[in-house]
Amino acid sequence: MAAVCKVFKMARRPAYRPSPWSMAVKTIVFLCVFFPSVQSIQTAAAQETGMERDVQAEQSYSPDMANLILITEQSRASEIKLKNNALALIARLLAQNRKSPEMLDALEFLAFEGTVNKNRINGKIINSYPSIRAKAAACLGDYGGEEAKKILVRMLKVELDSMVLIPALYALSKIGVTAEDEIVLNDMMRRLDARHPDNLLAIAYLDTLEKYSEEQAGAVQLATRHSIARVSQGAYTKLVQKKARLLLEKLNSYRER
């Protein structure tokens, strides 16, 4: 009977209800455990989003764009080493038949480094780099096209260094000489002949005119013939004088055909 009463009392005992204090403690523990996890998940998601943006940025920042930015910056740097680096990169891209307006802009800037684009300290030009201008001229010949040709023709008008003029002449010859260019060539030769006759420059001049005359079947201007005759009698080596005479004979042979 006593056992039955005990069971009856247990059955009537109300269900366990946690105290408000214990509920508060459990809530605090839950928040401490759960919210760091949420924060870490959010942090991880943010990092992943940031990585995706970096990847997208890298994809939009293509190697070609990086090369063009590098060419632009180095071509306008003050150090000649950086300018040489820019020209080497341009030459490598041209060998791969890759061209861009940025490359042409850089070549134009370098082609007049020290002649048109002058930096002075106490009145002295400090950026006269004939080797840079010469390499730029050669690259312009490889670049080709009317815009590159305009730059080369302009170089022939302002350049005084035969070291630069020689590659500029051969570059122009590679692109193609016109009747308008004949005048520029003759003026250049007259200016340099009066200043300081240069045998290698005279050879480059004659080579350029010979190729042009072959393309024109000997139809060159009278002023051009006079200019060649002046070289044949000028203060040049016998080899250069002979080359000029042979070119005149070749031009005369076209008339006899």
- What secondary structure, in 3-state letters, does 113-155 show? ECCCECCEECCEECCCCHHHHHHHHHHHHHHCCHHHHHHHHHH
Q: CA gyration radius for the chain?
A: 40
* Angstrom distance (rounded) from CA 121 to CA 108: 23
Q: Are 167 and 138 in contact (CB under 8 A)?
A: yes
Q: What is the pLDDT of residues 157-196, one digit of tens each?
A: 999 999 999 999 999 999 999 999 999 999 999 998 888 8
On whether both 117 and 200 belong to a single domain, the answer is no
- Global pTM reads 0.75
On whether both 161 and 74 belong to a single domain, the answer is yes
* Angstrom distance (rounded) from CA 106 to CA 124: 24
CB-based burial label for 171 (10 Å; 0-12, 13-18, 19+) = buried
Query: Is residue 255 very low, low, confident or very high in pLDDT (cuts 50, 70, 90)?
Result: confident
Which residues, in sequence order, are CB contacts of 239 under 8 Å at separation 6+?
199
Q: What is the pLDDT of residues 98-157, one digit of tens each?
A: 999 999 999 999 999 999 998 999 989 888 999 999 999 999 999 999 999 999 999 999
- Output the six-digit token pair for 194: 């009066």
Specify the number of domains making up the chain.
2
b/e burial code for range 184-200 (CB count within 10 A of at least 16 → b) = bbbebbeebbeeebbee
Of 114, 136, 167, the one marking the end of a domain is 167
Q: Is residue 238 part of a domain?
A: yes
Of 118, 149, 167, the one marking the end of a domain is 167
Q: Is residue 55 part of a domain?
A: no
Which among 138, 146, 144, 226 is positioned nearest to 182, based on CA atoms? 226
Range(s) of the domain holding residue 134: 63-167
Q: Is residue 27 part of a domain?
A: no
On whether both 124 and 213 belong to a single domain, the answer is no
Question: What is the pLDDT, as a whole number, of residue 194?
Answer: 82
Of 135, 167, 199, the one marking the end of a domain is 167
How crowded is residue 116: how many other Cβ atoms within 10 Å of its Cβ?
Answer: 13
Q: Per DSSP, which regions of 87-239 are E strands?
A: 120-121, 124-125
Q: Are 87 and 110 in contact (CB under 8 A)?
A: yes
On whether both 68 and 163 belong to a single domain, the answer is yes
Which among 79, 166, 94 is positioned nearest to 129, based on CA atoms? 79
Q: What is the pLDDT of residues 21-38, one digit of tens each?
A: 455 445 544 444 444 444
Q: Is residue 42 part of a domain?
A: no
* Angstrom distance (rounded) from CA 72 to CA 87: 10
91 phi-psi bin (left φ>0, alpha ψ -120 to 50, beta other): alpha
Q: Is residue 48 part of a domain?
A: no
On whether both 163 and 68 belong to a single domain, the answer is yes
